[in-house]
Chains A and B, each alone.
Chain A
Amino acid sequence: MVEKSIDKNYMKLEFLSKSSNESFARVVVAAFASQLDPTIEEISDIKTAVSEAVTNAIIHGYEYGEGIVVVEAKLDGNKIEITVEDFGKGIEDIQKAMEPFYTSKPNLERSGMGFTVMETFMDELIVESEVNKGTKVKMTKIINSQSNKE
């Protein structure tokens, strides 16, 4: 019998910054994460966090035109590490951007909750950004699945 265990795995996804790809990106990451046997709630958390990061890349990173969004995911033991990267305009003040309810786009009815959602639904969030170079969001989550507990 083959023992069900995950050591290390990796995937990379590149797509054009079109809003129609938001659903595609979060579903791909969720399907990849399912190898860790997560609960429905954990899958929801990952989907939502990825959706927020990808939406940010599309709305803010590539505000002035289309570009490529890169999503990578690494599985290591019971941990998933996800990065969402764009090569767009970057964030001038990361601290301000991460404040709950802060939005640079109130006219687009953005809630300013994106980073708060990522922080709440994932275990770790690191944001790196350089103006006119791009933004990289790194998120980590520990999956407490049934098979990991055994």
Chain B
Amino acid sequence: MSYDMVGSQLIVKLSGELDHHTSESLRNKIDQHYSAHNLSNIIFDLTDLKFMDSSGIGLIMGRYKMCKERNGSVSIVSTSPYINRILKMSGIYKIIKVFSTLDDAIKG
């Protein structure tokens, strides 16, 4: 995982596998970063993610609630049909914008 900040947006670039095991530590790191820098929005870049199960949905939904409390938003960058399938199944598309490039997500 790597971070980047653009204005008040935290860009979280995930790689490898996102499951229950990896999401536990990720959650703490993301939250620390988010509050330490007083940010409002989070962009999850899932382009390099190889695997995600419903724990990933839980992680994203949790950050969505956190950002909402600060009047911020969460968006996702994803191109993998496989990741998109599980995102779609979760109904996350109804509340979170999904972009196919990071530039588009930054512009909103």
Contact = CB atoms under 8 A, between A and B. Distances in A.
Contacts, number: 59
B27 to A, nearest CB: 7
A120 B27 CA distance: 27
A92 B86 CA distance: 27
Interface residues of B, number: 19
B61 interface: yes
A120 B89 CA distance: 9
A47 B89 CA distance: 16
B59 to A, nearest CB: 7
A48 B58 contact: no
Contacts of B54: 52, 110-114, 116-117
- Decide if the interface of chain A is mainly helix, strand, loop or mixed: helix
A130 to B, nearest CB: 24
Interface of B: 17, 19-21, 24, 27, 51, 53-55, 57-59, 61-62, 82, 86, 89-90
Interface of A: 19-20, 22-23, 41, 44, 47-48, 51-52, 55, 58-59, 108-114, 116-117, 120
